[in-house]
């Protein structure tokens, strides 16, 4: 039985999470968009990211208008990897797990 990645998008704090589940066929790429424009305490960051994920890698193309954003990915080797924080501008962020599976990923932002 082939393993497939089931996408669970949680729009709380700008987090997108991908969890593993069993099925008969696996999609080649899962794509989505996520946006963050603040929280109840006030605007911390304003950003938008379009992302694509495979079983081993996630790529995000982000526009940051204010604040800072970074991408993180958790791999099946037990490691969690973070991109550098990026500020205003357009950015390509990615986490590549090499030969290990991408278990979950998300975005963090700061004001």
More confident residue, 92 or 4: 92
Exposure of 56 by Cβ count < 10 A (0-12 exposed, 13-18 middle, 19+ buried)?
Answer: middle
**Do residues 82 and 61 lie in contact, with contact meaning Cβ atoms separated by under 8 Å?**
no
**Do residues 87 and 73 lie in contact, with contact meaning Cβ atoms separated by under 8 Å?**
no
| Rounded Cα distance, 111 and 97, in Å | 28
For the cut 90, the answer to whether the pLDDT of residue 14 exceeds it is no
For residue range 29-47, what is the model confidence (pLDDT) as tens digits?
Answer: 555 666 655 554 566 799 9
> CB count, 10 Å around CB of 21?
10
Whole-model pTM? 0.66
């Amino acid at each position: 039985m082939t393993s497939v990645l089931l996408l669970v998008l949680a729009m709380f704090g700008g987090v997108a999470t991908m969890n593993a589940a069993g099925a008969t066929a696996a999609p080649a790429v899962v794509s989505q968009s996520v946006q963050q424009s603040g929280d109840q305490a006030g605007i911390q960051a304003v950003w938008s990211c379009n992302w694509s994920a495979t079983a081993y890698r996630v790529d995000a193309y982000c526009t940051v208008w204010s604040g800072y954003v970074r991408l993180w990915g958790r791999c099946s080797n037990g490691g969690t990897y973070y991109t550098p924080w990026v500020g205003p501008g357009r950015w390509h962020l990615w986490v590549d797990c090499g030969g290990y599976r991408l278990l979950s990923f998300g975005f963090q932002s700061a004001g």
